[in-house]
Amino acid sequence: MNAPSERIQNMSTSATLAMAAKARELRNEGKDIIGLSLGEPDFNIPDFIKEAAKQAVDDNYRAYTPVDGYADLKQAISNKFQRDNHLTYTTHQIVVSTGAKQSLFNVAMVVLNPGDEVILPAPYWVSYSDIVKLAEGIPVEVPTSIATDFKMTPEQLEAAITPKTKMLWFSSPCNPSGSVYSKEELEGLAEVLKKYPEIIVVSDEIYEHINFKGGHNSIAGIDGMYDRTVTVNGVSKAFAMTGWRIGYIGAPAWIAKGCTKLQGQVTSGANAIAQRSVIAALEAPASKIQYMIDEFHQRRDLVLQLLGDIAGFKVNVPEGAFYVFPDISSFFGKELRGVTINNASDFALYLLEHASVATVTGEAFGSPNCIRISYAASEPELKEAIARIKAVV
Ligand code: PMP
Ligand code: GLU
């Protein structure tokens, strides 16, 4: 009777948001929890973006916006793609949405028919598999491990392709592993895809700027890929604008048109004030946000150094984003303080209960040997959190 639809019942709750909510709840009960579960920059939005938003309020941007975004914002996005990624997208190929999460959802709904398979190199970002399932697609996980720096090889891609494969989805820099695909690695994947022209690629580049190696590569820029790639991006991470909810795509025109049609029935378009402020964000030179990237870089080095001291943690060296994704499978089957650790979820729960540190189980990302630690937290918090973890393992 009072039950939600099967669709909702079959959906998992976002593990990242659930862990963040749990940490918040424990904190409200008075517990001293250090939250390293949520991937959310801990900086304020840069002043020049705030000023643009204030100006937009005063300029009475109050009405419904065009469903696919203000024309001048789409032009700014087009310029950004050209400037940063050497990708030429006309404004007809761009759709602005309520966060990159909605952009991804739109694309799944527009491209997938029931039963279509979507290749997800694992670890993948939590929401991919549930978004695919909501669109009645079938997620096909391709497991990778720390041995290949959590990247899918061309051989693995080829082996996962079936006549039902409709899409390949991945993020680079990757949430949760922080791995960054080089141009050569993307060319290797593109070489395989050449043989399967019906497969659409979703390239989630939301961590583009948080790259410590420099040199972001978009798969849409590789020979033969442009007409079949959707490039997803947004302002949540680079500009610390998570709550303002703006994401966007550059895509083949038929996909962009479908996304706009869908959005027209579901949201009517993204928030007007936030859209105006994003023009300022995207027109700014990269130097304006470099201080945040430098800070993430320093924290990454600190976290790697501290985690490297903990026996049983096998740690990758992430080149981007703000996560480390240690393999903690050496604890499986062991007992810690009377608690048996059978899997990564047990381990994450153990850290929450015994060290008061919130992380996220790798199971949510399709990698059951790992946990995700977000280092979008201050240095003192990171030091304290890792000292606590060390003390209980
Ligand atoms: N893709 C990845 C890989 C992410 O980590 C996130 C962060 N939540 C998103 C998409 C969605 O970002 P947004 O806040 O723009 O919805
Ligand atoms: N991308 C972030 C994360 O992975 C934000 C949470 C979310 O949107 O699920 O933690």
Q: Distance (Å, rounded) from C-alpha 52 to C-alpha 104?
A: 27
Residue 39 CA, ligand 1 centroid: distance in Å: 9
Chunked mean pLDDT (size 10), the chain, 393 residues: 91 87 90 93 96 98 98 98 98 98 98 98 97 97 94 98 98 97 98 98 98 94 98 97 98 98 98 98 93 97 96 95 97 96 95 95 95 96 97 96
Contact 107, 250 (CB under 8 A): no
Residue nearest (by alpha carbon) to ligand 2 atom 10: 39
Q: 17: Cβ below 6 Å to ligand 2?
A: yes
Q: Which residues line ligand 1 (CB under 6 A)?
A: 39, 99-101, 125, 171, 175, 204, 206, 234, 236, 242, 247
Residue nearest (by alpha carbon) to ligand 1 atom 5: 175
Instruction: Write down all domains in the chain, each with its CATH number in brackets.
Output: 6-44+289-392 (3.90.1150.10), 47-285 (3.40.640.10)
User: Measured between alpha carbons, how far is residue 377 from residues 21, 124, 146, 300, 315 in Å?
Assistant: 17, 22, 24, 11, 19
Residue 206 CA, ligand 1 centroid: distance in Å: 7
pLDDT at 14: 86
Q: Is the backbone peptide bond immediately before 173 cis, with ω within 30 degrees of 0?
A: yes
pLDDT at 15: 85
Q: Which ligand is nearest to the CA of 376?
A: 2
Residue 295 CA, ligand 2 centroid: distance in Å: 20
Q: 38: Cβ below 6 Å to ligand 2?
A: yes
Which two tokens mark 93?
A: 């190929």
Three-class secondary structure assignment of 341-378: ECCHHHHHHHHHHHHCEECEEHHHHCCCCEEEEECCCC
pLDDT at 22: 87
Using most ligand atoms within 8 A of CB, pick from 126, 206, 210, 375 the residue to mutate for ligand 1: 206
Residue 180 CA, ligand 1 centroid: distance in Å: 16
Give the helix/strand (H/E) hosting 8. Answer: helix 6-9
pLDDT at 20: 86
Residue 112 CA, ligand 2 centroid: distance in Å: 23
Using most ligand atoms within 8 A of CB, pick from 38, 42, 131, 175 the residue to mutate for ligand 2: 38
Q: Which atom of ligand 1 is nearest to the CA of 104?
A: 10
Q: Which atom of ligand 2 is nearest to the CA of 237?
A: 1
pTM: 0.96
Pick from 313, 253, 243, 268: nearest CA to 93: 253
Q: Which ligand is nearest to the CA of 23?
A: 2
Contact 248, 69 (CB under 8 A): yes
Residue 133 CA, ligand 1 centroid: distance in Å: 18
Residue nearest (by alpha carbon) to ligand 2 atom 5: 39
Q: 39: Cβ below 6 Å to ligand 2?
A: yes
Using most ligand atoms within 8 A of CB, pick from 175, 248, 374 the residue to mutate for ligand 1: 175
Pick from 255, 202, 145, 175: nearest CA to 14: 175
Q: 175: Cβ below 6 Å to ligand 2?
A: yes
Residue 40 CA, ligand 2 centroid: distance in Å: 7
Concatenated DSSP letters of 221-257: GSTTTGGGEEEEEESTTTTS-GGG--EEEE--HHHHH
